[in-house]
């Protein structure tokens, strides 16, 4: 079955428990651009400006950066998730993060200038936009707090509770990086978690 931009617009509105009229749903659908990416393909490179949000219809995307020559995973998104390089998106400055497809992926891009305009014209789209951004900020805060205050096993358990799909589908090296632990520590934590 082929998914249309209308299907995705409805799905997005429903994901955030909003009610949208036909006109606003069609307006949102009109600005959605479908892109397909191969596994390993770079979607946004460091130094490029993030001009859109990306809604994942199918697949797995990873945001990462390099620190002292080491690859550090910042975020992993899967179906119904949104990927935004927040600082670059809002300031329209070069991104520090890189976005990569970890699986063959179907992604719907939402141009910033276009959704900014629709958010003014349609109350529901304004609410949707706000909820997407709120969710992204809350996820970032939860991750920061988890890394600051929780030991390795609690970080793993929280990821297991909130995003089990990541643990099923992402390579272990990226999961370890996301949780800011070595692959060896992740292996020990997983073993202990499975035995409990």
Same domain for 155 and 85, yes or no, is no
Same domain for 125 and 64, yes or no, is yes
pLDDT digit string, tens, across residues 47-74: 999 999 999 999 999 999 999 999 999 9
pLDDT digit string, tens, across residues 129-148: 999 999 999 999 999 999 99
Same domain for 31 and 65, yes or no, is yes
Same domain for 190 and 100, yes or no, is no
Same domain for 125 and 190, yes or no, is no
Q: Positive or negative CA dihedral for 188, 190, 195, 196? A: positive
- Ordered strands of the 70-77 beta sheet: 42-44, 98-101, 61-67, 70-77
Full domain range(s) for residue 162: 150-196
Q: Residue 88: its pLDDT value, please? A: 96
Number of structural domains (the chain) is 2
Distance CA 40, CA 26 (A): 33
- Average pLDDT in the 89-103 region? 97
Same domain for 127 and 185, yes or no, is no
- pLDDT grade, residue 193 (50/70/90)? confident
Collapsing DSSP to helix, strand or coil, 14 comes out as helix
Question: 67 has which bridge partners?
Answer: 70
| CATH code of the domain in which 28 resides | 2.60.120.10
Distance CA 33, CA 183 (A): 37
- pLDDT grade, residue 37 (50/70/90)? very high
b/e code 93-129 from CB counts within 10 Å (16+ = b)? eebebbbbbbbebbbbbbebebbeebbeebebbbbbb
Whether the CB-CB separation of 179 and 193 falls below 8 Å is answered with no
Same domain for 171 and 188, yes or no, is yes
Same domain for 141 and 171, yes or no, is no
Q: Residue 137: its pLDDT value, please? A: 93
- Please say if the pLDDT value at position 163 is more than 90: yes
Same domain for 194 and 167, yes or no, is yes
- Please say if the pLDDT value at position 183 is more than 70: yes
């Amino acid at each position: 079955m082929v998914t249309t931009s209308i299907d995705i617009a409805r799905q997005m509105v429903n994901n955030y428990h909003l009610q949208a009229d036909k006109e606003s749903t069609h307006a949102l659908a009109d600005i959605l651009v479908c892109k397909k990416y191969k596994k390993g393909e770079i979607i946004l490179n460091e130094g490029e400006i993030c001009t859109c949000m990306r809604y994942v219809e199918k697949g797995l995307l990873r945001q990462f950066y390099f620190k002292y020559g080491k690859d550090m995973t910042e975020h992993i998104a899967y179906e119904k998730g949104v990927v935004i390089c927040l600082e670059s998106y809002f300031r329209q400055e070069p991104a520090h993060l890189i976005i990569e497809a970890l699986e063959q992926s179907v992604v719907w891009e939402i141009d910033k200038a276009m959704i900014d305009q629709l958010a003014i014209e349609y109350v529901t789209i304004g609410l949707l936009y706000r909820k997407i951004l709120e969710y992204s900020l809350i996820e970032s805060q939860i991750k920061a707090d988890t890394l600051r205050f929780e030991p390795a096993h609690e970080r793993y358990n929280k990821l297991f509770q909130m995003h089990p799909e990541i643990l099923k589908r992402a390579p272990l090296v990226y999961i370890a990086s996301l949780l800011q632990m070595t692959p060896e520590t992740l292996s020990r934590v997983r073993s202990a978690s499975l035995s409990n």
